[in-house]
Copies of this chain bind each other. A is one copy, B any other.
Amino acid sequence: MLRIITEQTEALTELRRICDRTHDDQIFNKEATVREVLQAVKRQGDKALLHYTAEFDGQNLNIEDLRVSGSEMDAAYQQVSKELLNAIQLACKNIEAFHRQRVPKSWVQFGEDDVVLGKRYTPVDRAGLYVPGGRASYPSTVMMNAVPAKVAGVPKIVMVTPPGPNKTVNAAVLVAAQEAGIEEIYRVGGAQAIAALAYGTDTIPKVDVITGPGNIYVTLAKKLVYGTVGIDSLAGPSEVLIIADQTANPTYIAADMLAQAEHDPMAAAILVTTDSVLAKKVQNEVDQQLRNHQRRLLTEKAIAHYGLIVVVDSLEEAAELSNHFAPEHLELEIAEPWELLNQIRHAGAIFLGNSTPEAVGDYLAGPNHTLPTSGAARYASALGVETFMKHSSLIQYSPKALQKVANAIQVLAEAEGLPSHADSVRLRSQGKSEP
């Protein structure tokens, strides 16, 4: 049964425990395995991919199996319902529309003495998207990663996903990929897939940025290859924090909490409410909705370990607790959600009002569902078009403009003990050339 806490110190301790649930020292134990996989793929390429796919996924592939074939891509359309195809298309449309807002644009500005400064934005050359697979099917993950890469203008996008039984890749995933514009898909997952994208193999191209969520091995692999390639973030288990007042509906809140818990036994679902009656009702509703839940065992586990209801005195206090936790998803199920917004400092995505369940954002409202977890919302943001772009600073000085700052630069260069820095300006301002 979902615990109810009313004491603030206890609440802070519990939130800290839940937030830190993945900062476990036992994670380090997996690092040796991951490092070994990375090294093997770096050295042996495709051969190592086949080896680890047999070992970890139980699928015996040949090199020719690695890339999903055109006929498999086509056939996937026959395996999904018209309804699902429509839903995928609606999601793609909304995600694209949102991600086309405020795409960074290059700019220059002209200053005194013909100084030109600016920024020039360009997409990365190649992006690699990781999509979890095996027995699971996450077409939404495909779209949330592929659409921003497309909008950014990335010329080459490849996707990797582990094979399920009989080497198959889920049909919904293949359809979502094609609807999002991805044609190059490889049947490989785990740390070995991350290694392939980071270092390249004969079959799989080396990319510049790797995005997408995965299990702890995938996340560790992403951390280790970061610096060789860019990554989106280190995704941990999902979490929601709901702030609710007496106007909230306990049935809806219970469903939202279970929608989080059903992802993963390590998922977290937290309600912070000013209404102790509501707290009790949500507790009962969660029990109720769990009874015939399709994923009952896993979901109960998450609720038991990382489910929590905190009763507070005011919405201000609720906001402060939420800021401490810095949740991935924050729902404001209160009468005036926009009024509380100014007190929220850290949250990956904020869902306002009783008619905005997180599921709307998970699938098709448009904003990205790849969000910072485990308190990373203190410093990080959703995956976006920016994840697939970078900029170059632009600087042009004229002889006159350089002359004016020559002395200041020389003084600074001398203070830092860097004589050629000073020379590079002095020689120009004196108009010196080689004899």
Hey, which bits of chain A sit against chain B, CB under 8 A?
23, 80-81, 83-84, 86-88, 90-91, 98, 101-102, 107, 109, 115-117, 119-120, 122, 124-125, 136-140, 172, 208-209, 223, 226-230, 234, 249-252, 255-256, 258-259, 261-263, 281, 284-285, 288-289, 293-295, 299, 330, 337, 341, 344-368, 371-372, 374, 376-382, 386, 390-399, 401-402, 405, 407-409, 411-413, 415-425, 427-428, 432-434
Contact = CB atoms under 8 A, between A and B. Distances in A.
B390 A377 contact: yes
Given A293-B420, A396-B356, A423-B258, A412 B349 contact: no
A392 B409 CA distance: 40
Contacts of A397: 353, 355-356, 360, 365
8 contacts: A83-B407, A90-B405, A115-B365, A124-B378, A357-B424, A362-B421, A364-B412, A380-B390
User: How many of these chains are in the complex?
Assistant: 2
Contact of A360 (B83, B380, B409): B409
A249 to B, nearest CB: 6
A210 to B, nearest CB: 9
A352 B396 contact: yes
A434 B356 contact: no
Contacts of A390: 346, 372, 377-381
A337 B116 CA distance: 12
A111 to B, nearest CB: 9
A208 B379 CA distance: 6
A208 to B, nearest CB: 4
B433 A251 contact: yes
Contacts of A91: 408, 412
A294 B423 CA distance: 12
A150 to B, nearest CB: 17
Contact of A255 (B355, B407, B424): B424
Given A362-B421, A405-B364, A392 B353 contact: no
Nearest to A256: B424
B361 A393 contact: yes
Nearest to A382: B393
